Structure 1
Amino acid sequence: MQVTDTKSEITRRLSVLIGLDVSAVSHAADMLTMHFGPQRQYVTPRGTVLEGGTWALHVQCSWRLTRAGVVVATQAVLAGSDDAAHFGSSWLDTLLVKEGAVIVKGISATKSGGLQLAMSNGFCLEVVSDTVPDEEDWRLFELRSDAKHFVIEGGKIDPWSLS
């Protein structure tokens, strides 16, 4: 059985984002959803027509967005009522998409399933795994692809992601 180095595997998988712009920010309940790369229409397996970037990052654990080292948002902006979450994700979308291109410049990862996306304009998204067993922290996947999602669960790579 091959042992996978979590930090290296996260860095390798997320390297596809380098050079791509943040093309959409939204939410599903209190989950942060970010799209990267050009927005295009695609059809879901259920036949629904949606629009999205090339890659999607869904974050269900602790995160914070900083700009020039100052915290500008945390997962708290998506907490509370549906209206509050919608307002928070719309504000993030304006900040990272509508006010000018924000491009992923670099990736770093931790052994415990966390990551940092260094972006242009001084932005950095820091994701900290909650390390709760059997609970998903975050996932990265390519839209319009049947490839398996890369999933961090409980601070570790979900073995299904590697099979």
Structure 2
Amino acid sequence: MDYVFKRGRTEEAAEYALHIQCSWRIAKGNKIEDINEHTIVERVDSDEVGGLKIFLPQGYLLEVFPDTSEDDEYSEFSRLFKRKEDSSHFVVTGNGLKNE
């Protein structure tokens, strides 16, 4: 875990960040749930249309599912990056994958 400074405070933050700009949900079994604590990613699966299944401890599952097939410059579905300056970003869009 890295430390980041926010308004003069030091906070603990994950090494990576995932920005989601499409439909998503957190489920546990057959129920939609919330997670209000830090968690660890156990495994990630992806599909052909930019969707993700992110497996978390205790049976939680974060599902990311793009809900459009638009392929314009504004169709960014998700962005994964390391929380340090000058790190590259792995971006999933309607045009495919980009490494920025």
Q: Quick check: TM above 0.5?
A: yes
Q: Which residue of 2 aligns with 1:116?
A: 53
Q: Which amino acid aligns with 2:19?
A: H
List, as ranges, runs of 4+ consecutive aligned residues in structure 1 with deviation greater than 6 Å: none
1:148 to 2:69 alignment: no
1:54 to 2:24 alignment = no
Residue equivalent to 1:40: 3
Shift of 1:121: 1.4
TM-score, structure 2 length as denominator? 0.78
Matched positions, count? 95
Structure number with the higher strand fraction is 2
Q: Which runs of 5+ in 2 are unaligned?
A: none
Give distance in 1, aligned partners of 2:66 and 2:46: 11
User: Partner of 1:22 in structure 2?
Assistant: none
Aligned-partner Cα distance in 1 for 2:51–2:78:
9
TM-superposed deviation, 1:42: 5.4
Between the aligned partners of 1:117 and 1:102, the Cα distance in structure 2 is 11
Q: Which amino acid aligns with 1:126?
A: E
What is the alpha-carbon root mean square deviation over aligned residues?
Answer: 2.5
CA distance in structure 1 between the aligned counterparts of 2:55 and 2:14, rounded to whole angstroms? 19
Percent of paired sites with the same residue: 31
Task: Choose between structure 1 and 2: higher helix proportion.
Answer: 1
Write out per-residue CA displacement over residues 78-136 of structure 1, whole angstroms, 9 at most, x where no aligned residue. Answer: xxxxxxxxxxxxxx5xx241xxx532111110011111001101110000123322211
Alpha-carbon offset, residue 68 of structure 1? 2.1
How far apart are 1:55 and its partner, in Å? 0.2
TM-score (norm 1): 0.50
